[in-house]
Amino acid sequence: MTPVGEALRSMVMTMAENMTDTWTTLELYSMYLAASGTVSRRQFVSSITTYFGNKLLLLHIDGCESVVGFKASLGQFIKIAKKNNSNSDDDELEKLMRMIYSEVKVTSATLFKLVSSLVSGGATT
């Protein structure tokens, strides 16, 4: 087995033996590099998520390191709800409006007033 494959195998074994643990992607990647791994962080994360499939969760939180853990153990700490793909039109419209609002608000006050006059008769709530 190549050194790259050996380092990845070592990480997979470590994770499988500690399925109740959670890690950040940085922690896992540092352990991988210490085991003589050479692929990029993105390739490493892709490899472990591919290997473990839907048993592994990768949580992305703005402003924080991504957290990696197994669904069975993370589910004890975090409420996991499957997203319903049949969103109502109202939900989609509200989501679109929030996106437009945030984009317009940071762009300019004049544009914000224009869009609010078109959407809500000038109300800027």
The CATH number of the domain where 37 resides is what?
Answer: 1.10.10
For residues 39 and 47, the answer to whether their CB atoms sit within 8 Å is yes
Query: Amino acid identity of 48?
Result: I
Query: Amino acid identity of 58?
Result: L
Answer yes or no: do 68 and 94 share one domain.
no
Across the range 27-41, mean pLDDT stands at: 91
Which of the pair, 74 or 68, is modelled with greater confidence?
68
Over 70: is that where the pLDDT of 43 sits? Answer: yes
Answer yes or no: do 7 and 67 share one domain.
yes
Answer yes or no: do 11 and 70 share one domain.
yes
Answer yes or no: do 41 and 64 share one domain.
yes
pLDDT band at 72 (very low <50, low <70, confident <90, very high): confident
Domains contained in the chain, number: 2
Q: What percent of the chain has pLDDT over 90?
A: 33
Entry pTM: 0.59
**Full domain range(s) for residue 32:** 3-74
- Report if residue 25 sits inside a domain: yes
Which of the pair, 103 or 13, is modelled with greater confidence?
13
Answer yes or no: do 64 and 39 share one domain.
yes
C-alpha dist (Å) from residue 117 to 102, 114, 121: 16, 5, 4
pLDDT band at 101 (very low <50, low <70, confident <90, very high): confident
- Report if residue 82 sits inside a domain: no
Report the alpha-carbon distance of residue 95 to residue 87 in Å, rounded. 11
Answer yes or no: do 58 and 98 share one domain.
no
Answer yes or no: do 39 and 97 share one domain.
no
pLDDT digits (tens, 9 = 90+) for 2-25: 555 888 999 999 999 999 998 999
Over 80: is that where the pLDDT of 83 sits? Answer: no
- Report if residue 26 sits inside a domain: yes
